[in-house]
Structure 1
Amino acid sequence: MLDVERLEEGLREQTAGFARAAAGGDPQATVPTCPDWPLRVLVGHIGQAHRYAAQVVRKGEPAVAPDPWQAEPGTPDRWEEWLRAGADDLIDAIEETGAGKEMWTFLGPRPAVFWLRRMLADTAVHHYDAAVTTGAAFVLADDLAADVVSEGFEMLTAPGAEQLKPELAELRGRGERLGLRPVSGDGWVLTRAPEGLRWQRGPVPADVDVVVSGTAADLMLVCSRRLPLDDGRVEVAGDRALMDHWLARMAF
């Protein structure tokens, strides 16, 4: 996991990037990668989610999850200010409370930094959604993209994850291994064991059943079902059907 300072910096980077991507877009434009939401609701979700996480961090206990359709991000010319304020609110809450303080999360008790990391991941993925909607550039540093992937695997393999996402039970297997191999740095290997999913970070062995190769950011987009495997930006080698089955049930 990245250190707290880099996670805070990353949240500010991705919030600013999201705001730039959304700027000038039609508030009612359909978000292609979130087709049930217009751009205004996507913006509302991010600003609302940051504030929700800040509230949980400060109180250390559950709060009612907000409805993004009820968010009030203001007029488009105020979106950037509103979004930045939400990210700053969460960062302030983490610094006031202490990143290591244990508190409620939907996966059970975790340190407060869980919420910072979760919001960075959510913001990074939705930054791409905003960029696709408006045609803006999408930029995500390798270390942030890699942490989003690792954070996603940690959630999917956490105790109780199958109760929150029942389709994960369908990913139990007989030891099949799937790999994600970035252009640089360590990759990820996910094992479909009889008792459930397992994952590890490190070099991807040559004998995995299927591997997807690409930049860290593109691998993140594959895992979040934003980038199709047929896209020329990634390469698939091995059992493509196994990878398709995995992605259909594990996307984060």
Structure 2
Amino acid sequence: MTTLDPARLAEGLLEQTGGFARAVAGADAGAQVPTCPEWRLADLVRHLGQAHRWAAEQVRKGEPVPVPDPRTAVPVPPGEWAAWLRAGADELTEAIAQTGPDTEVWTILGRGPAVAWLRRMLNETSIHHYDAAVTTGAGFEIADDLAADAVTEAFELISAPGVYAINPALAELRGQGETLALRPDGMEGWLATRTPGGVRWARGDHEADVVMSGPVREIMLVLSRRVPPSAGTVRLHGDAALLDHLLARMAF
């Protein structure tokens, strides 16, 4: 369940969509995205704009709809990127408002509140904002509360009941009590424990087999496999191999 209210999620979605649009403004549409090497910048733009509209359609229908492929979509001229991206974000926030954030709809984890799509798309947008910024050399900013909720959602996703049916590879996160602690600067942290039944997690500051500390933004980027933990943006103590194992298998 989201730690942020629908108004803040909607505000955050517009913040991150706007940052993404500024990062790609005037850039080469054919530039390869280093963090998504199978995509060009135009693919990334189309993916994000399509994702917002796809989520909005699912909120309105309450049922799953086919996932769009950005590589087969009608190209959007670069000069129209900003307006097109904003229109997609607006469409999603309006769909949530009209349907009601607590209305039950289909989500990637089964039936759940419509606001789950707002949260999922905010976090998707935040990570792709970083992808765009790395591609074009633009700056990347995200508020601490948004980055922290992205970390929480990541743990919720990999520990959800029935998640192995969606992503069988996550079963490799099961273990015998190995622990990872995340300690963001100036904020409450997280503890993840590998159990025979899967990952279990809780908020709080704890000792663990491996501890990662630093700015919450950087912790979010490491967990999303955008920045390696060895890049110097976070501080590690303990079993680095355990962290590597977790990161290699956390993709959702």
TM-score category by the smaller chain? over 0.9
1:212 aligns with 2:228: no
Q: Report the identity percentage.
A: 60
Mapped partners of 1:91, 1:195: distance in 2: 36
Q: Secondary structure at the match of 1:27?
A: coil
Answer with 55-64 or 158-167: which moved more.
158-167
Residue 138 of structure 1: aligned partner: 140
Mapped partners of 1:196, 1:156: distance in 2: 8
1:224, distance to aligned residue in structure 2 (A): 0.6
Residue 129 of structure 1: aligned partner: 131
Answer with 84-93 or 224-233: which moved more.
224-233
Mapped partners of 1:80, 1:64: distance in 2: 25
Residue 222 of structure 1: aligned partner: 222
- Retained in 2: the 8 A contact 1:41–1:71? no
Answer with 180-189 or 116-125: which moved more.
180-189
Q: Deviations over 1:198-224 (max 9, x none)?
A: 111122x13x00011111111110001
Residue 117 of structure 1: aligned partner: 119
Residue 251 of structure 2: aligned partner: 251
Q: CA RMSD in A?
A: 0.9
In structure 1, stretches of 5+ residues that fail to align are: none
Residue 235 of structure 1: aligned partner: 235
- Give the residue type in structure 2 aligned to 1:32: P
1:53, distance to aligned residue in structure 2 (A): 0.4
Mapped partners of 1:149, 1:71: distance in 2: 31
1:106, distance to aligned residue in structure 2 (A): 2.0
Residue 185 of structure 2: aligned partner: 183
Q: 1:105 aligns with which of 104, 107, 127?
A: 107
Residue 5 of structure 1: aligned partner: 7
1:45 aligns with 2:54: no
Answer with 155-164 or 76-85: which moved more.
155-164
- Give the residue type in structure 1 aligned to 2:140: F
Mapped partners of 1:175, 1:111: distance in 2: 32
1:73, distance to aligned residue in structure 2 (A): 5.1
- Give the residue type in structure 2 aligned to 1:213: S
The aligned length equals 250
Mapped partners of 2:114, 2:64: distance in 1: 13
Mapped partners of 2:153, 2:75: distance in 1: 28
Residue 58 of structure 1: aligned partner: 60
TM-score scaled by length of structure 2: 0.97
1:72, distance to aligned residue in structure 2 (A): 3.4
Q: Deviations over 1:1-52 (max 9, x none)?
A: 1011000000000000000011111101000000000000000000000000
- Retained in 2: the 8 A contact 1:21–1:137? yes
- Give the residue type in structure 1 aligned to 2:232: G
Residue 20 of structure 1: aligned partner: 22
- Retained in 2: the 8 A contact 1:27–1:40? yes
Alignment of structure 1 residues 65-76 onto 2, 5 Å? 65-72=67-74, 74-76=76-78
Q: Deviations over 1:163-204 (max 9, x none)?
A: 22212111111111101110111111110011111111122x
- Retained in 1: the 8 A contact 2:213–2:219? yes
- Retained in 1: the 8 A contact 2:46–2:76? no
- Retained in 2: the 8 A contact 1:45–1:71? no
- Retained in 2: the 8 A contact 1:210–1:236? yes
- Give the residue type in structure 2 aligned to 1:30: Q
In structure 2, stretches of 5+ residues that fail to align are: none
Q: Secondary structure at the match of 1:109?
A: strand
List 4+ stretches of structure 1 deviating above 3 A: none
- Give the residue type in structure 2 aligned to 1:83: L
Mapped partners of 1:237, 1:109: distance in 2: 39
